[in-house]
Amino acid sequence: MAHPAGPRHAEILAAPHLAERPSSPEAMAEIPANVFPRNASRNADGVLEVAGVTADRLAQDYGTPLFVYDEADFRSRCADMQAAFGPYGRVHYASKAFLSVQVAKWVQSEGLSLDVCTGDELAIALHAGFPAERIALHGNNKSEAELDAALAAGVGHIILDSMIEIERLDRLAGERGVVAEVLVRVTPGVEAHTHEFISTAHEDQKFGFALAGGVAMNAIRAVFATANLRLVGLHSHIGSQIFEIDGFELAAQRVLSLLAEVVEEFGVDKTSQIRMLDLGGGLGIAYVPSDDPPPVKALADSLATIVERESARLGLPMPLIAVEPGRAIAGPAGITLYRVGTIKDVALDGKTVRRYVSVDGGMSDNIRTVLYDAEYDVRLASRESSASAVVCRVVGKHCESGDIVIRDCWLPEDLAPGDLLAVGATGAYCYSMSSRYNMAPRPAVVAVNEGTSRRILRRETVEDFLSLEVGNE
């Protein structure tokens, strides 16, 4: 395909998945099945549809930017997780990836458990009628109020993260006259191959008790010394967006070795209630077509084999394996629709230009590009184009030059204001990490299913912002 006339457009060298110009307009129009929701496709008119509802219709009915979740996709990923890991233990959906009352209901009806990190995530789950005994509470700085709310609700277990918290929870449980089931979060010193800020099991960070220096063992001793805490498992989470099993394998080996030490010190009888090995979340997804994460079932079976082998080697009974996937359930189920507002060719030097495509959202609804250099796949959603491919940078509307949604991508040369763009795999950690920067209202969130759509969260309005104002009477 020829370059468009005029100055040469900036070529992409850094991103391997973009190194090759799409072979044809059809290739550029393709909706990559491993990135977009399972029920997304281009219809006969060339318009993107999700679960039978067109991007045009959605934008017209609900406005843009818009988060669109394929409900059947979300549910099927819950079901896949449950089928893969359920036989070995328990699946907690990590609600931080994306939570709403509807989402909690989907998770519940698919039979999964739920992991929450704050009192307010807990409140949303309880509001949805999620059974408290299937909820686990995480967090490195849970307040007394949050711990007490969890005890009042009767959550399944609480994952302990500091010595102060052990004392705090023991006291609160005593005051309520209950015994709280707890896991101790162990930091096993595994460097997951992922971005530093989403890697959580190397030792120099805020989560958990280090295996090194006997810190985790001391925490376990402290729990055994309490009157109102019952240790039912050990937890480790090595990071997020992980494609290889070796990090999980090493973490499982190390945590099981710690368990063997605990059994040796406290005896088989006193430790028989420690039945859960929670390996956390972190299962990776495809953000761009070349990403190839392992299938969930294969991962589950390999992990179970490893845990079984290690347990046998250490003379321990096979524990229940718990996992806490967030991204792998919510991520691929969601897309973001944006409306193109302006397009600008910016001269980089004498010979090249970069095409900036500005959309009506940005870092307020997707901070991941700015925060982690995350990559995304974007497609023209409102029509098909036969124009040639041009390297573009999709940017938001915020007062920040770093407000980039997609650093480099191929889009049709004839892209114009008013066109709709769809960014794939934005279902996790986009809405949940959104902000109101520049008074940007949080977008609406829509669920689509079998040809129908419904709002599950309405768009914020300036009236919402004004309702927070005080002292202006």
Ligand X SMILES: N[C@@H](CCCC[NH3+])C(=O)O
Query: Can you give the binding site for ligand X, defined by CB under 6 A?
Result: 96, 198, 240-241, 368, 372, 429
Q: What phi and psi, each to the nearest 5 degrees, are found at residue 389?
A: -85, 140
User: Which residue from 200, 358, 426, 453 is in contact with ligand PLP, where contact means CB under 6 A?
Assistant: 200
Q: Out of ligand X, ligand PLP, none, which partner does residue 122 contact, by CB within 5 to 8 A per kind?
A: none
Q: Out of ligand X, ligand PLP, none, which partner does residue 280 contact, by CB within 5 to 8 A per kind?
A: ligand PLP
Q: Count of alpha carbons within 13 Å of 241, Cβ hemisphere only?
A: 21
Question: What one-character-per-residue DSSP string does 96-107 give?
Answer: GGS--HHHHHHH
Q: Is 399 a catalytic residue?
A: yes
CA distance 139 to 80: 27
Q: Out of ligand X, ligand PLP, none, which partner does residue 184 contact, by CB within 5 to 8 A per kind?
A: none
Q: Which two tokens stand for residue 433?
A: 């990490």
CA distance 437 to 403: 11
Q: Out of ligand X, ligand PLP, none, which partner does residue 397 contact, by CB within 5 to 8 A per kind?
A: none
Q: Out of ligand PLP, ligand X, none, which partner does residue 368 contact, by CB within 5 to 8 A per kind?
A: ligand X
Using the contact rule CB under 6 A, the part of the chain among 2-10, 12-20, 278-286, 395-403 near ligand PLP is: 278-286
325 assigned to a ligand binding site: yes
Residues 449 and 432 sit within 8 Å (Cβ to Cβ): no
User: Which residue from 247, 282, 332, 362 is in contact with ligand PLP, where contact means CB under 6 A?
Assistant: 282
User: Which residue from 139, 156, 247, 326 is in contact with ligand PLP, where contact means CB under 6 A?
Assistant: 326
Q: How far is the CB of 6 from ligand X (least distance, A)?
A: 38
Using the contact rule CB under 6 A, the part of the chain among 21-29, 62-70, 305-313, 320-328 near ligand PLP is: 320-328
User: Which residue from 9, 77, 138, 254 is in contact with ligand PLP, where contact means CB under 6 A?
Assistant: 138
Q: Is 249 in the site for ligand PLP (CB under 6 A)?
A: no
With a CB cutoff of 8 Å and minimum separation 6, the contacts of 304 are 88, 321
Question: Of the two residues 205 and 352, which places its CB atom closer to ligand PLP in the complex?
Answer: 205
Burial class (CB in 10 A: 0-12, 13-18, 19+), 462: exposed
User: Which residue from 156, 188, 281, 396 is in contact with ligand PLP, where contact means CB under 6 A?
Assistant: 281
Q: How far is the CB of 319 from ligand PLP (least distance, A)?
A: 17
CA distance 83 to 192: 26
| Structure-token match 């370059």, residue found | 3
Q: How far is the CB of 22 from ligand PLP (least distance, A)?
A: 30
What is the maximum span of the chain, computed from C-alpha positions, in angstroms? 78
Q: Is 114 in the site for ligand PLP (CB under 6 A)?
A: no
Count of C-beta atoms within a 10 Å radius of residue 258: 21
Q: Out of ligand X, ligand PLP, none, which partner does residue 282 contact, by CB within 5 to 8 A per kind?
A: ligand PLP
With a CB cutoff of 8 Å and minimum separation 6, the contacts of 22 are 1, 28, 389, 410
Question: Of the two residues 157 and 237, which places its CB atom closer to ligand X in the complex?
Answer: 237
With a CB cutoff of 8 Å and minimum separation 6, the contacts of 171 are 228
Q: Which of 78, 392, 399, 409 is catalytic?
A: 399
Question: What one-character-per-residue DSSP string does 263-291 give?
Answer: HHHH-HHHHTT--EEE----B---SSTT-
Q: How far is the CB of 447 from ligand PLP (least distance, A)?
A: 20
Q: Count of alpha carbons within 13 Å of 410, Cβ hemisphere only?
A: 27
Q: Is 237 in the site for ligand PLP (CB under 6 A)?
A: yes
Q: Is 446 in the site for ligand PLP (CB under 6 A)?
A: no
Q: How far is the CB of 362 from ligand X (least distance, A)?
A: 16
Q: Is 240 in the site for ligand PLP (CB under 6 A)?
A: yes
> Minimal CA–CA distance to 435: which of 368, 337, 359?
368
CA distance 19 to 329: 29
Helix 101-109 / helix 119-127 crossing angle, nearest 10 deg: 70
Helices then strands (H, E): number in the chain? 14, 22
- Which one-letter DSSP state was computed for residue 199? B
Q: Is 327 in the site for ligand PLP (CB under 6 A)?
A: yes
According to DSSP, the β-strands at 48-50 and 40-42 are antiparallel
400 assigned to a ligand binding site: yes
Q: Is 283 in the site for ligand PLP (CB under 6 A)?
A: yes
Q: Is 94 in the site for ligand PLP (CB under 6 A)?
A: yes
Q: Out of ligand X, ligand PLP, none, which partner does residue 332 contact, by CB within 5 to 8 A per kind?
A: none
Q: How far is the CB of 115 from ligand PLP (least distance, A)?
A: 6
CA distance 89 to 365: 35
The residue whose Cβ lies closest to ligand X is 429
Question: Of the two residues 115 and 249, which places its CB atom closer to ligand X in the complex?
Answer: 115
Q: Cite the annotated binding site for pyridoxal 5'-phosphate by residue number.
A: 282, 324-327, 429
Q: Cite the annotated binding site by residue number.
A: 282, 324-327, 368, 372, 400, 429
What residues act catalytically? 399
Residues of this chain that interact with ligand PLP (CB under 6 A) are 94, 97, 115, 138, 200, 237, 240, 280-283, 324-328, 428
Q: Cite the annotated binding site for substrate by residue number.
A: 327, 368, 372, 400, 429
